[in-house]
Every structure is written in C-alpha cells, then in structure tokens.
Structure 1
C-alpha cells in the first residue's frame, strides 16, 4: 500500500524554503524599521533647529522694530505740531526697510496726525481699534494681537509711546502689518515651503495663525493642535503630529521669546520616509536574482538529500543568528548534493546579513550630506568620555547660510551643505570624524589631538572654503569654535557649550574666523 506520508525530501524542501523566505523578510523588515526610525529622528531634529533659528530671527526682527519706532518717537516729540515733518517721518519709516505696511502718528487722545501711505484716509480721525486703544491706555511699547482695523484689514499693531522731555505723554508712533497681504513676515520667513507639502507657519500666544503659506488659514484658531499647545506654552521641541487635514507631519517648533508667538516647521511623514521606501525597493530588486538562484539550488539539492539535510533544515530555521551561518559551514558535506546545498545556504544567508548591515550603516549616516549623523556622534562622544579618551571638537556654522537659501533656493542650499561635507572630509585626518550637528551646523571630532593641531585643521578648512567657488556660484565662509576634553570640560554637554560659546564669539567678531573656547570646568 502506497504511503501518503510526506517524504523526507518534500519535508526538507518545505522547511528550507520556509526558513529562507522568513529569514529574508525578517532581515529586510528589521533593517527597514531601523532606517525609518533614523529618518524620523533626523527630520524632527532638522525641523526643530530650523524653527528655532526662524524664531530667533523673528525675535530679533521685532526688537529691531521697537528700536526703530523708539528712535522715531525721540525725533518727533518736539515737532508734534509740524505736519510736514510728521508726514516725512511716517513715509520714511514705511519705505526705509519695508518693515511695516503702514505707519501712523497720533496725539495722546488717538487723533491721527500723520499716516503713510496717504491713501489710507484716516488722518484727522480718532483711532478706536483694539490695538490703538491698548497702546494709548498702556503708554508702553506693545505688539497687539491680530484684529480688524478701521480699514477692514486684519492687522497686527506695533507701537511705541511718544513722551516729551518732561515725560509728558504726547501720543504714539505705530507700524502695522497686514496679515492677509504681502508683509514683513513673508519677507522675513520667505517661501519656506516646497511642493512636497513642507511649510512653516506662525501662531500668536492664543494659538491664532498669523502667518501661513496659505492666506486663507490666517486668523484660524488651531489650539487643538498638540504642537501649537506646546509652543504657545513657551516650549521648544519636535514631535509627530496630525494636522487639520489629517496629514501626519514631522514638526519642529520654537517659541518667540519676546511675544509668546510660536514658529512651526513641518514636513509630511510620507514625504520624509519616501527615500526609505526607495532603498527597500532597490535592495529587493538587487536581491531577487541571487534569491532566485539560491532557491533553485536549494530545491535541486533537497531532492537528493538524506540525513545531513535534517541538520541543515534545523539550522536554517534559526538563520537570523549569525552563529548559525558558522553552524551551516560545519555540517558535513560528504556527498555532492549536501555540499552544494550547504554552500548555497551559506552564501544566501551571508548576503541577507550583509543587507541588514547595510541598513544599520544607513542609520548612522546623515541622508543629505553622507557624513556621520547627530545620534551616532552623541554615541561616539559618550564612548570616548567613558573611556577617558582625550579629544577636541570643532563646531562650525556657515556664515549667512539663510541668504543662500533665500537667494538661490533650498536645492542649491542642500548642494552647499554637501559641498561643505566634502571639504570637511578633505581636511580631516585619519581617525577624525566629520558629523552633521543639525541645519548648517557641523562638527569635526578629533581624538587624541591638541588644540593647536585642531586649530590648524579648522583654519585649513576655513581658508579652503573662502578660496573655493561653492555650488551657489561664489565662495562661502564659516565660523568655528574649538573646545578640548578634558582641558576645558569634564562632560560632553560642557564641551559642546564651550565650543558653541567660541563659535558665537567668532560670529560676533565678524565671522569667517576660528576661535578657541574657554574652560567650562566647575
């Protein structure tokens, strides 16, 4: 009677094939998940740094607006009865740097004495808007919340009081920003969005949108957004959030210190992860021929296998463990079929482990510049600190990089960052590590190096950049700060702080220079 039980060769075929495919899927999936986590972390950190820089720029801009208005208040306080001088001053303020859409001077009762442009027909009228009343009542420099002005426009009112030399309140001088028309925010922030759905927006302290690349969103209340809740409470950070359209976004946010406003820079999660999908597809495509050949070999050999294959099948089921690859090599191949199958499995599993290593390598590299990313840099510094390895860090930042993005676009800006990374690698010595710290900030790690040696490396890089035409069509410059462990600091945080202080000093003293930090030891 013919047996219906599985034959050994069929059982071995099934086990070998199942183990092979499970190993392939598990290896690729594990590497893919690691790559996704790395991309998320990098994108969140990039957006956080970017939002922080924009918030700092906006804060400086608003402080400058107060200074300009304050200067004008001092100029006109003795000439409040001279209509021509007042008209000249409001016109100058509006046209000088395009900071305000309109400028107005009133007396202490809110009567408009002068307005620019003159087409706004409110001269001789008393301002009754929310912002004007608040400014007249408080008699201090203020930035109003968004409101609808007498002209029907949605505006923000930035004002400064005018006092006489005897400290008598004479009135105010104020500039307005029209939120739904071309304004200073658009000039300041630029077109910070791209066709892939990335964009920047600004909210006031109440969670009301005051700048957005879509004008129809201005004045919307978005307090239900978790990122808005965090930034309006004065926090800086980054997180995954779902916007009002149901799109998942990788958002970085930072508060504007002087106003309580918040700047949010975000990128769609799907767009950020697109390169990872492409890499997986590429790996699969490249793996198919070898997998196909390996499967044919497995099937051909399994049909002629006896006892030795039981050991091979058992080891293949646990093929994710690298020790099992060595176990396969130790299986006796005393006849041709067993020998061929053993070698085919060893080659296939080694290839798959190679793919896992590939994905692991990808998670340590900054995807834009191809140099070491922030997370790997932090791990390396922690290891050096634990092992008491003396080292120096060079913290460097491109000078006026925002102007490169604003003038030539983000695509050219990305090429400039890649160009800088290549120049860093060209001056780095054996053992030095080039890293991207975030945005346009980079770090070179120099183990077992003196401050003098590190200074030579930094100066060589600085001179090379200043003398070489970059992708934007002109040379670019950098400023750098240097700090050494353990000479200047006992912790990584203090070491980076010392280098950052030196970098700030280099920026303050005119940029395009290298400064050595001071000790942060307590």
Structure 2
C-alpha cells in the first residue's frame, strides 16, 4: 500500500506564509508601479497644460505690447513724412529691448517710406509685392501674418498696424518683422523653456505650421496632422498623450493664444516617467526588506506556537496506538487542548464578524461625505459610470452656493460649513423618490434625476433654487444658488463630458447674474 507524503503543520504554515509574503510583495510592486506611473503621467499632463496656458498668456501680453508699439509709430506716422518717419522707426529699433528684427513704413501703394535697420533687403522707395503686404493693405487693420520667405529668404512673421490720417483716410501701415530663424524677443522668451529631461515647447500658427521649435530646421513645417495640433487649431485646450513624427510618445498640454490664433504645446517624453518610478520601487524594496524578514520570523514563531500543541497531541496519539496493552503513555503537558482550539476558533469567528462589521462601516464612511452626511464625489463617479454602463437615462444638476467665499470671509468658515450642511438638508426635500444627491466638492453639489429629461430636471432645480432663495440660512441670510443642467444620453455619453457641459451651463448662470438655472443645449443655453 502506497503511503501518501505527509508534512508537518509548522512546515505547511511556514510555506503558506512565505508564498503569501512573496505574492503580496509582487502584487504590491506591480500595483505601485501602475498607480505611480498613472499618477506621474497625470501630473505631467496637467503641469504641461497649465504651462502651455501660462505661455499663451505671456505670448498674448507680448503681442499686445507689439501692437501698442506699432500703434504709437502709426499715430506718429499719420502726421510725419520723410525724415521724421525714418527717425520714428529708427527710434523704435534703438530701444533697449526692441520687439522686432526690423521695422518699416509703407504707404497705401505699398511704397516703402521708412525702414530700420537699413540692411533688411528693402529700401526707401521700393514697392513691396509680397502677398503678405498686399493682405495687410487690403485688411486695413492690425494683422499678424503666417510665416513666409522674405526678399532675403529669411523666414518671417509680419506684425502690422494701419496708419490713418486725422480725417480717417488710410495712408498705409507700419510693419514689424520677426525673423523666426534668428534671435527675436518671441524665441528668446520661449527658448528658455527647454529642459534636459527632453521636455520642450513648440508653437504653430493658424494653419498648423511651426513658427517656434527648438530644432530650427523644422520651422515652417506643416504639423497639422498631429492630433494635438489639430485640436488646438479648433480652439480646444487640454492635455493628452501624443506620438510625434519620430514615433516617440509625449505627454502634452496645449493652449490657444487668442490674439494671433497660435497654438502653444508643452510636452514631456513619456519615457522619463519610468526612471523615477523604478528608483522609487528599488528604494521601497530596500527599505521594506528588513521589515519583511522581521515579519517572516515573527510569523514563523507564531506558527510554531500554534502548531506545537497539535504536534504534541498528534505524537501522543501515535505513541498511544503503538503501545496498546502496555502502560498508558503519559499525557503530554501542553499549553492548549481541543477545547482551547475550539474557543480560539469561536473567538476568530467572532473577530471575523467584528472585522466584517468594521469594514462595512468603513466602506460606508468612504462613500459618504463627512460634513453633510450625503453621498460623496467618489460615490457620484461610481453611480454615473454605472448608470451610463446600463444605458439608464438621467439628467445631471450641478450647483453651487453663490458668493460662498464672501460668506466664509464675513461669518467665518464654521458658519460656511453650517450653510453647506443646511443646503444638504434642503436638497432631499425637493427631489423625487429615487433621485440622488451628492456633495461634489467644496460648496458644489450635484443631483442625478433618474429617467428625466432636462426640462423635468429644470423644474426640480428651479424648485430648489426658489426654496433656498426664500429660506434663511444659518448665517442669517438667504444663500442663493446657481445651477447648470445636462442630460444623458442627449448631451453626452461620458461622465467627464456630461459634467463638463453641466458646469458650462452653471458657469453661464454665474456670468448672467447668479441665482438662476441654466439648461445646456447645443450652440446656446436656455434659462428655466
């Protein structure tokens, strides 16, 4: 008869503990890598977006300053001629920090009246025949050109400002040129935003051609097929991953400069996120290793304490079987017995129930806002995704308290909290059974109105608005609301987009005076 292999309990427990530690460590390392990578990517994306926004603002300020300088010269040129015009443009180029590589004045027939510096490729009396100069004369208003090759084959952007005499008659324009391939105030401002980790900034004009790039050989290249460039040319702003023409993946943020229509993109190579995460994992492993060894030895000691009494009892049983008919084997002295094991089992069972109850309570707390007692943002995100996944139609009401900062500043933050809790108690009284209220964050709340179009949700929103308007809050004043509404699936089919549209409607309520309800609709928003 074949005897099956038997293992001692202590070896089994130790083996299970060892495997558990190894598997737990492996899962933790994998999860840490994924979570930190995602977090780091998101951080780079958002930082690049805000950086692009900042550069767009700085570029807008720069272009506005350029316009102001050209306007000053244009105002002077309206009453000057000949030598005086030449002095005007020379004075501009002699300034401490000139905005342009060259400045010139032409009349309505595009005849050059003044130019500085003289080595620009054009001379006084010469007629400009470029399509850019013709367009500037035709438009008769401030104009920023797309990149073009000038007479000297330089890659140029022209910034022009019209000249009108005292009676409003058009006399020509004053133009300032920016040499894209040389030093200029625009490139000097943007070139400092190049980093050793591979991050860099580039700028495209209204047609998707590069007007600034760290690699000047790429200037004037058409990159409109790049999906990030395509978005920014449509007037969109945001961030996302993008694969460039060399097949490298970047984390890009993009923004639009409104005055010129230029798109500004700040991007970081995706590959740089791996090194800090790997370094963090290595440091974590080194730091945790002594503790893991300590835990393993402690677990081994515990397993020995548990298994030793059972092993003694098992040996006693075996010896008793072998010595039948002989004097009984003395009962070993052990610190536990079956009764104690049963008691331990009952205690563990009770503890498990207690832990389950505690975990259930903890789970409930993670789904509830601590201040108001209603569902929190995390629950809101889960409910939204679940409803959309199951194609259940609903409307979203997004709302916040008007002038809440003023309430905090006037009455103090504790009173601000009381106003928030007051709103949380009013909301359930005006919604229907089955509808759900959530605290979105700060003084912002949202309501999911199930199986209702935006008009039905508008009635509920208006009822809530009127109730708050007619009620006295704990601060002793009426705390009014601004509300925005969007509907699934009519307006959007993704949670982020639906919230974005409701927020857009809410923003319109704020813009139009607050204390009102706005329903989002394509192309415009309507009030309830």
Specify the TM-score bucket, using the shorter chain as the normaliser: 0.5 to 0.7
Q: Does 1:58 align with 2:84?
A: no
Corresponding position of 2:218: 217
Shift of residue 180, structure 1, vs aligned partner: 0.8
Decide whether the 8 Å contact of 2:100 with 2:184 is kept in 1: yes
How far apart are 1:30 and its partner, in Å?
2.3
Equivalent residue, structure 1, for 2:159: 158
Q: What's the counterpart of residue 114 of structure 2?
A: 114
Partner in structure 2 of residue 98 of structure 1? 98
C-alpha distance 37-19 of structure 1, shift in aligned 2 (>3 A): same
CA distance in 2 between partners of 1:58 and 1:381 (Å): 39
1:264 aligns with 2:265: yes
The structure-2 alpha-carbon separation of the partners of 1:265 and 1:298, relative to structure 1 and needing over 3 Å to count, comes to: same
Q: How big is each residue's C-alpha offset from its partner over 1:452-490, in whole Å with a ceiling of 9 and x where there is no partner?
A: xxxxxxxxxxxxxxxxxxxxxxxxxxxxxxxx9956767
Cα gap change, 1:447/1:276 in structure 2, threshold over 3 Å: closer, same or farther? farther
* CA gap 1:33/1:167 in 2 versus in 1, 3 angstroms: same
Q: How far, CA to CA, are the matches of 1:185 and 1:210 in structure 2? A: 10
Distance in 2 (CA, whole Å) between partners of 1:203 and 1:149 is 19
Q: Deviations over 1:244-281 (max 9, x none)?
A: 33332211101111222101111222334544333322
SS at structure 2 position matched to 1:259: coil
The alignment's TM-score, normalised by the length of structure 1, stands at 0.59
Cα distance, 1:380 vs. partner? 12
In the TM superposition, what is the alpha-carbon distance from 1:199 to its structure 2 partner?
Answer: 1.4
The residue that corresponds to 2:40 in the other structure is: 39
Is the alpha carbon distance of 1:217 and 1:291 closer, same or farther for their aligned partners in structure 2, counting shifts above 3 Å? same
Once the two structures are TM-superposed, the CA of residue 233 in structure 1 deviates from its matched residue by 1.2
Q: Which has the larger radius of gyration?
A: 2
Provide, for residues 46-102 of structure 1, a one-character-per-residue CA deviation record: whole Å limited to 9, x for no partner: 2212211211222232233233323322211232xx321111111122333421111
Question: Counterpart in 1 of 2:470?
Answer: none
Q: Report the counterpart of residue 478 of structure 1 in structure 2.
A: none
Deviation at 1:2, TM superposition (A): 7.0
**Cross-structure match for 2:195:** 194
The alignment partner of 1:285 has SS state of helix
Partners of 1:448 and 1:248 in 2: how far apart? Answer: 48
Match runs of 1:282-301 below 5 Å: 282-296=283-297
Change (3 A) 1:177 1:127: same
CA distance in 1, matches of 2:401, 2:481: 11
Which one scores higher on RCO, CA 8 angstroms, separation ≥ 6?
1
Change in CA separation of 1:145 and 1:391 when aligned onto 2, cut-off 3 Å: closer
How far 1:127 sits from its partner (Å)? 1.5
Shift of the 6–90 alpha-carbon distance from structure 1 to 2, 3 Å rule, reads farther
Cα distance in 2 for partners of 1:211, 1:149 equals 17
CA separation in 2, counterparts of 1:333 and 1:226?
72
Residue 244 and residue 257 in structure 1: after superposition, are their counterparts in 2 closer, same or farther (change >3 A)? same
Q: CA RMSD in A?
A: 4.6
8 Å CA contact 1:226–1:241 kept in 2: the answer is yes
Task: Find the aligned partners of 1:100 and 1:38 in 2 and give their Cα distance.
Answer: 42
| Residue matched to 2:5 | 5
After superposition, what is the alpha-carbon deviation per residue over 1:169-197, rounded to whole angstroms, capped at 9, x for unaligned?
A: 32221000000111121243350121111
Unpaired runs of 5+ residues, structure 1, are 310-331, 343-376, 396-429, 433-444, 451-483, 502-517
Aligned to 2:234: 233
Question: Relative to structure 1, is the Cα distance of residues 391 and 76 closer, same or farther in structure 2, using a 3 angstrom cutoff?
Answer: closer
Matches within 5 A, 1:480-499: 486=479
Superposed displacement of residue 134, structure 1: 1.9
1:87 alignment counterpart = 86
Normalising by structure 2, we get a TM-score of 0.58
- How far apart are the structure 2 equivalents of 1:207 and 1:378? 39
Counting matched residue pairs gives 370
Aligned to 2:352: none
Alpha-carbon distance in 2 for matches of 1:307, 1:392: 70
- Name the CA shift for 1:61/1:497 in 2 (closer, same or farther; >3 Å): farther
Instruction: Quote the Cα distance in structure 2 between the aligned partners of 1:297 and 1:77.
Output: 91
| TM-superposition CA deviations, 1:222-250 (whole Å, max 9, x none) | 22321111111110000111223333221
2:448 equivalent in structure 1: none
Partner of 2:317: none
CA 1:40 to 1:380, structure 2 compared with 1: closer, same or farther past 3 Å? Answer: farther
8 Å CA contact 2:400–2:481 kept in 1: the answer is no
